[in-house]
Structure 1
Amino acid sequence: MRLNRTQWASVTAVVLALLFAGGALTVASADRDESPRTPTAESADAGFARDMAVHHQQAVEMSFIVRDRTRDEEVRRLAYDIANTQANQRGMMLGWLDMWGLPKVQSGVPPMTWMGMGGHGDETAGEDGELMPGMATRAEIEQLSKASGRAAEVLYLKLMTEHHKGGVHMAQGCVERCAPGVERDLAQGMVEAQESEIRLMADMLRQRGA
């Protein structure tokens, strides 16, 4: 049977439609294969969220302490910025853990295990437990809460500088190990913002003769 032009056009349209549908299914399948998977409790994504949430909490605590121990507007403004930023970021990371259905605390697993650094044996351990890099000891927090004026400013700037250095190290670990997405983007943003604040605090310390 010979087909006229109209019939050929109809057949061609059907063939093209089938080819297009097949291509669409292939793309959809590929998209599903590349969709983000829920992290496990042992993943870098979960480990970073848990550990950085704890790390951030101490930065917020120190910032609230110094706010009440000095009248210097520059230090108070910096402390407010750090407390506000890190409290918000902490909320995001705890929210991710909830969304993933993962615990916020993993008992029996030392901090930084996801970076291959679990079980620090440095001078910050002991009665203060296993602290992550840059975290202040209980004695240093108590010292800050008793200081006032310039002494409180200098101590806060020194403690927060070390705290930020530890935070940058951890955030860089997530940039290298976490899955691509919003968490890794947040970690990269932390690296850039905290390195900038480290430089600012170095200038503030010099202005105070420290």
Structure 2
Amino acid sequence: MEAGFARDMQTHHAQAVQMALIVRDRTSDREIRTLAYDIATSQQQQIGQMYAWLDVWGLPQASSQPRMAWMRQGHQNMSGAAAMPGMATATQIKELEQAGGKDAEILFLRLMIPHHQGGVQMAQAAVQSEQPQVNRMAGAILAAQKAEIDLMRRMLAARGAAETRTVPKSGR
């Protein structure tokens, strides 16, 4: 379980770092830039820790098992990065890359909230690990990402935006 968590959370975190760096370059809003910097630096540091765990444990960075096979909550039969909870699609990443200003901020927040919710699901599955370092990191991820989800929801509200896009009804 621990190796699967380390491998899959590295992939999950890498996308969060990618999105954070994209929005940081697309806005001048200090609050968003600070949040993006915090996400990028903390999650990149955790990627390094998880990489090191696998090395110390004598395990390869990649696995022959499908992604998320380590979770006991229904993701076992899924494969590929899209099977990870909360991952943005390539189209969504491209849209973020093309957005600017307030539009980029809102899109980033709308993508990062479910991304963090997915990270919370993954961390909850790992928080009872028998490896103390895995247990500590999973707990830290839970605390940080839950707090950031609350912050991002407030940031969306401050921008007059809903958490998800509303689709106009046909005929309007």
Unpaired segments of 5 or more residues in structure 1?
A: 1-43
CA separation in 1, counterparts of 2:122 and 2:142? Answer: 9
Query: Which of 112, 126, 133 is residue 182 of structure 1 equivalent to?
Result: 133
1:156 is aligned to 108
CA deviation map 1:169-199 (0-9, x unaligned): 00000013x2141111110111011000000
Distance 1:136 1:130 in 2: 8
Q: Deviations over 1:69-105 (max 9, x none)?
A: 1111110000000000000000000000011111111
Residue number in structure 2 paired with 1:114: 70
More relative contact order in 1 or in 2 (CA 8 Å, sep 6+)? 2
Q: What amino acid maps onto 2:77 in structure 1?
A: G
Q: Cα deviations across residues 5-41 of structure 1 (Å, max 9, x unaligned)?
A: xxxxxxxxxxxxxxxxxxxxxxxxxxxxxxxxxxxxx
Deviation string for 1:82-141 (max 9, x for gaps)? Answer: 00000000000000001111111113x2211111322338xxx7xxx6430001000000
Q: Distance in 1 between matches of 2:97 and 2:82?
A: 22
- Counterpart secondary structure, 1:113: coil
TM-score (normalizing by structure 1): 0.73
2: CA distance, partners of 1:195 / 1:183: 18
Given that residues 2 and 131 in structure 2 are in contact (C-alpha distance below 8 angstroms), is that contact kept between their aligned partners in structure 1?
no
> Counterparts of 1:104 and 1:179 in 2: how far apart (Å)?
20
Is the 8 Å Cα contact of residues 119 and 130 (structure 1) preserved in structure 2? no
**Which runs of at least 4 in structure 1 moved beyond 4 Å after TM superposition?**
none
User: Does residue 131 of structure 1 match 2:83?
Assistant: yes
From 91, 96, 103, give the equivalent of 2:60.
103
- For 1:49 and 1:93, the matched residues in 2 are separated by 5
**Corresponding letter in the other structure for 2:70:** W
> Does the CA contact (< 8 Å) of 2:82 and 2:89 recur in 1?
no
**TM-score normalised by length of structure 2:** 0.88
Q: Tell me, what secondary structure is at the counterpart of 1:120?
A: coil
**Distance in 2 between the 1:119 and 1:203 partners?**
35
- Structure 2: runs of 5+ lacking an equivalent: 162-172
- Distance (Å, rounded) in 1 between the aligned partners of 2:82 and 2:148: 26
